Amino acid sequence: MNKYTWSTVAGILLAVAALVPLPAVAQSGPPATPAAEPANPLQPLAHLVGGQWRGQIKMLDGTVIRARHVYEWGLGQSILKSKTYGAVGEGSERLVYEGVFAWHPEKKAIAFREFSAFGGVNEGTIAPEDNALHFSWADYSKKGVTEYRETMRFPDRDHYTSEAYKKTAEGWEKILDTAFGRESADVAAAQRMLRKQVTVAAPLAEVWKAWTTTEGVKTFFGPEAKVEAVVGGPFEIYFGPSQPEGLRGSEGCKVHSVVPMKLLAFTWNAPPTIPAIRNSGVHTVVYIELEESGPNQTRVTMTHVGWGAGEDWDKTYAYLDRAWDAVLGNLRYRFAVGPVQWPGAFIRAEMPTTK
C-alpha cells in the first residue's frame, strides 16, 4: 500500500459505491420532489443486478484505485443489497462497503444506507426523473458529516459514467469523473486474483527450503504438514491436526509446478467453514515466486488465482485474503525471530516491536 490508506480509499469509493442505474442528465439543483410510491419502486435499480461492475479512479498523482460493485436482490426483491470492493494499484482488493436499498414509505423515495469497513455510515435517497437519475447522501464518520451528490449517465445497459460532488464551505466541489462497465460473473471471477509480497531476512536457498519441505513449512505455515516438492506431490498443511480427516487443513492439495529456487505452485482449498466450496472438488492455485533482493534478503511474491463466482466464493476470497497476510507474517517472523511455536492451531506470529 502506498500513501493512500484504506480509510482514504473508502472515502474515495464512497462517491461511486452503491448508486443507481438509469440514463442521467446533469442537474445543478437539488433532487426533484419525491413522487408517490410507484407500483414497482425499485425498478430503476433492476438492471444493476447481474455480473459485476468495474471501474478505475485515477488520482492527481497518478495512483489508480480499482473499484468493483456487486448487487443482488433480497427479501423477494423488496430490497437491493450491494457490496463495494477497492484496491490501490495492483494490490489485493478489499471489501470496503456493504449497503441496502429500499423504498422509504415516509420519504416516498428510494433510500439507501451503507456501512463502511472503517466505521462510517452513509445515508441518502435517489430520485429518478424522466430520463435522469439524481441522488444525494450524507457520510457520517468520526470526522463529522459530509454531504455528497451524484449524476450518472448510462449510454447502454452495461456502461455508465459518473460525476460526483462534495459540499464544502465554498459550494459543491467536483471530486469524481469516472466510468464503469459490467462484466459477466464468469469473466470477473477469471480475472480475480490475490497478490501479496514480503521480504524476509534470509538467503534465497533457506526460504526455498522453508516452502518446499515438510520440516520447512512446519516452521511458519502450520504445526503439521506433508510436502513433496515434485509435480503431483502432496502439499498438505494441517492447521488442526487433531480435527477429523477432511477438516485438518489443505488435505488433497498437490504441487502444481516447480522451477527450482524460483517458483513453487500448488493447489489450495477453501476452509471447512465454507463447505460448499471446500467439498466441491474445485481447487484454486497458489504461485510462490522467490527473488534475491539483497544480501541475505529474499523477496517472496504470492499470487492466488482460479476463483469462482458467487457469495461463497466471495467469502472464500475474503478469508484467504486475511489468511495469506498471516502466513507471510509468520514467514517473516520465522527468519527474524525463529520458528513459530504452535499451540496446535494456525496463528499469526507477531513481529517484535522495534524501538
Q: Give the CATH number, domain containing residue 85.
A: 2.40.128.20
Rounded to the nearest 10 degrees, the angle between the axes of helix 311-336 and helix 204-212 is: 130
Residues 6 or more apart whose CB falls under 8 angstroms from that of 352 comprise 336, 337
Distance CA(222)–CA(295), nearest Å, equals: 28
Q: What end-to-end distance do the CA atoms of the chain give, in Å? A: 23
Q: What is the pLDDT of residues 122-133, one digit of tens each?
A: 999 998 776 667
Domain count, the chain: 2
Specify whether 228 is located in the same domain as 168. Answer: no
Specify whether 133 is located in the same domain as 228. Answer: no
Residues 6 or more apart whose CB falls under 8 angstroms from that of 63 comprise 2, 4, 88, 89
Task: Name the average pLDDT for the chain.
Answer: 84
The pLDDT of residue 125 is 94
Specify whether 76 is located in the same domain as 112. Answer: yes
The pLDDT of residue 190 is 65
Specify whether 172 is located in the same domain as 43. Answer: yes
Distance CA(246)–CA(77), nearest Å, equals: 38
Domain assignment of residue 22, yes or no:
yes
Eight-class DSSP state of 248: S
Q: What is the pLDDT of residues 191-227, one digit of tens each?
A: 778 999 999 999 999 999 999 999 999 999 999 999 9
Specify whether 194 is located in the same domain as 298. Answer: yes
Specify whether 92 is located in the same domain as 231. Answer: no
Strands 263-268 and 255-259: antiparallel
pLDDT reading at 14 higher than 60? no
Domain assignment of residue 146, yes or no:
yes
Greater model confidence, 333 or 130: 333
Residues linked to residue 73 through DSSP beta bridges, in sequence order:
80
Residues 6 or more apart whose CB falls under 8 angstroms from that of 142 comprise 119, 120
The pLDDT of residue 258 is 93
Tell me the pTM. Answer: 0.55
Domain assignment of residue 229, yes or no:
yes
Q: Are 45 and 111 in contact (CB under 8 A)?
A: no
Find which of 90-99, 155-164, 299-308, 340-349 is predicted with most confidence, using mean pLDDT. 299-308
Last residue of a domain, one of 183, 217, 250: 183
Distance CA(297)–CA(204), nearest Å, equals: 7
Distance CA(193)–CA(90), nearest Å, equals: 10
Specify whether 218 is located in the same domain as 247. Answer: yes
Domain assignment of residue 312, yes or no:
yes
Distance CA(351)–CA(34), nearest Å, equals: 56
Specify whether 159 is located in the same domain as 15. Answer: yes
Domain containing 151: what range? 6-183
Specify whether 83 is located in the same domain as 174. Answer: yes
pLDDT reading at 26 higher than 50? no
Helix (H, G, I), strand (E, B) or coil at 289: strand
Instruction: Name the grid cell of 81.
Output: 443489497
Q: What is the pLDDT of residues 215-263, one digit of tens each?
A: 999 999 999 999 999 999 999 999 988 888 889 999 999 999 999 999 9
Residues linked to residue 326 through DSSP beta bridges, in sequence order:
none
Distance CA(23)–CA(21), nearest Å, equals: 7
pLDDT reading at 162 higher than 90? no
Largest CA distance in the chain: 71
